Structure 1
């Protein structure tokens, strides 16, 4: 995936990027510090890490792929933020072998839960990496978007299988190991001690619209971006989104007890 700041790639990233920028700005005001410590688990080649570093924040990227981390290093250097981006090899299961527990103002957990053996553990580790009142940005594959895409492609049996499969997979050839509903994701986040602030549907329309239409019709890209932004927070569209984004704040232990 390209940089979120590039127009064409923004079809896939615009909603999350705008929400994340606002969250970072709010956290800066809350902490009184201009530069935050951000952890990007599964951050790969820096699709979000580098733009976050461009805003002046320090970003640690944890990813199991050496090739992705090499690409991250190159991208950060090209963007002039090599001094604010650190890449370390690791995964969500052994996160605290390479990252500091309770050491980050913001944690990004994007495209991770689909691939870990235990999604609940992945969320718990992400939350434990946060400082008190820190922000969690969680992005994962949505079940409804996959079902709709398979059905519109004429693969009705695969669509039905995804709908009924516990992991949301449409078949043996499905490249995504696991998908989630909004209720499943918010449940995982809440159980880990995070107050859910917002849920967004991501790529509600972008994956269904022919690319040639977006590339050739004047104003189509901008109009589609505005449509995605307008639909993102509407619960009625969460069930058909390709991805689901959950934004939340880590609760104090006293707050958790008060809610029980």
Structure 2
């Protein structure tokens, strides 16, 4: 079983992975090349990079953590794709100090925009790394999911604080520097000359369901995965998703 389909981890990645696989398949057909050049910014230990490499694509991972890159190297070797995965130390703001502009068929920008000083610049750099008509996969923390989680935990003042805070933070103890609404993310992407193809809500229900129920109830995991997939593209659920995924295409 591949990394992205391991039971508990699959609740966090299954929706994005299925969308990403479809996007890469379309890029293969559009380019006429079986092996694509993929850039994973902030790719860490290779949660997506290694599975993408297993599909036969060449993946460059840019991450500021040397420890994460070391783990990536080991993981790629264990998966038998070390020849298709390259890790380089860097970040989205200094992206072109370590990779070339316009050299990639697809760029993954997952879990990056929450931490950067200038999100607009981060998106622009990700897009500038793409070839014309390349695919952008962007994943970021959703505001609504955090508000709902704080309210359900009884922290009503913190939930209201997150709603009014420009960065979507519920207080000084909040470990997440920034959160987004679907509208904010699509505006950032559109402003970077990308045509938005789809928006998905990720972990709409998974973070709210007791873990014991999922782990012990027969068939609960599979049923929850199907529910997440069914709700992902419905705009009504974007406002309560823990994460938001935007898929777009760079304008030619």
Query: Is the 1:5–1:51 contact (alpha carbons within 8 Å) kept by the matching residues of 2?
Result: no
Return the alpha-carbon distance in structure 2 between the equivalents of residues 239 and 64 of structure 1: 31
> Helix, strand or coil: the match of 1:131?
strand
Q: CA deviation at 1:5?
A: 2.6
Equivalenced residues, count = 251
Task: Tell me the equivalent position of 2:10.
Answer: 10
Task: Tell me the equivalent position of 1:245.
Answer: 245
Q: CA deviation at 1:106?
A: 0.2
Matched, 1:175 2:138: no
Gaps of 5+ in 1: 253-260
Return the alpha-carbon distance in structure 1 between the equivalents of residues 206 and 98 of structure 2: 36
Matched, 1:125 2:89: no
Matched, 1:209 2:209: yes
Task: Give 1:89-128 correspondences, 5 Å limit.
Answer: 89-128=89-128
Kindly provide the CA deviation profile for residues 79-131 of structure 1, in whole angstroms up to 9, marking residues without a partner as x.
00000000000001000000110000000000000000000000000000000
Return the alpha-carbon distance in structure 1 between the equivalents of residues 152 and 3 of structure 2: 29
Q: CA deviation at 1:8?
A: 2.1
Return the alpha-carbon distance in structure 2 between the equivalents of residues 209 and 176 of structure 1: 21
Task: Tell me the equivalent position of 2:46.
Answer: 46
Task: Give 1:21-170 correspondences, 5 Å limit.
Answer: 21-170=21-170
Query: Is the 1:41–1:108 contact (alpha carbons within 8 Å) kept by the matching residues of 2?
Result: yes
Q: CA deviation at 1:6?
A: 1.5
Return the alpha-carbon distance in structure 1 between the equivalents of residues 196 and 76 of structure 2: 31
Q: Which runs of 4+ in 1 moved over 6 A?
A: none
Task: Tell me the equivalent position of 1:185.
Answer: 185
> Helix, strand or coil: the match of 2:3?
coil
Query: Is the 1:169–1:179 contact (alpha carbons within 8 Å) kept by the matching residues of 2?
Result: yes
Q: CA deviation at 1:7?
A: 2.5
> Helix, strand or coil: the match of 1:10?
helix
Kindly provide the CA deviation profile for residues 118-163 of structure 1, in whole angstroms up to 9, marking residues without a partner as x.
0000000000000000000000000000000000000000000001
Kindly provide the CA deviation profile for residues 29-58 of structure 1, in whole angstroms up to 9, marking residues without a partner as x.
000000000000000000000000000000
Return the alpha-carbon distance in structure 1 between the equivalents of residues 98 and 36 of structure 2: 19
> Helix, strand or coil: the match of 2:187?
helix
Kindly provide the CA deviation profile for residues 179-209 of structure 1, in whole angstroms up to 9, marking residues without a partner as x.
0000000000000000000000000000000
> Helix, strand or coil: the match of 2:5?
coil
Two-structure CA RMSD over aligned residues (Å): 0.8
TM-score by length of structure 1 reads: 0.96
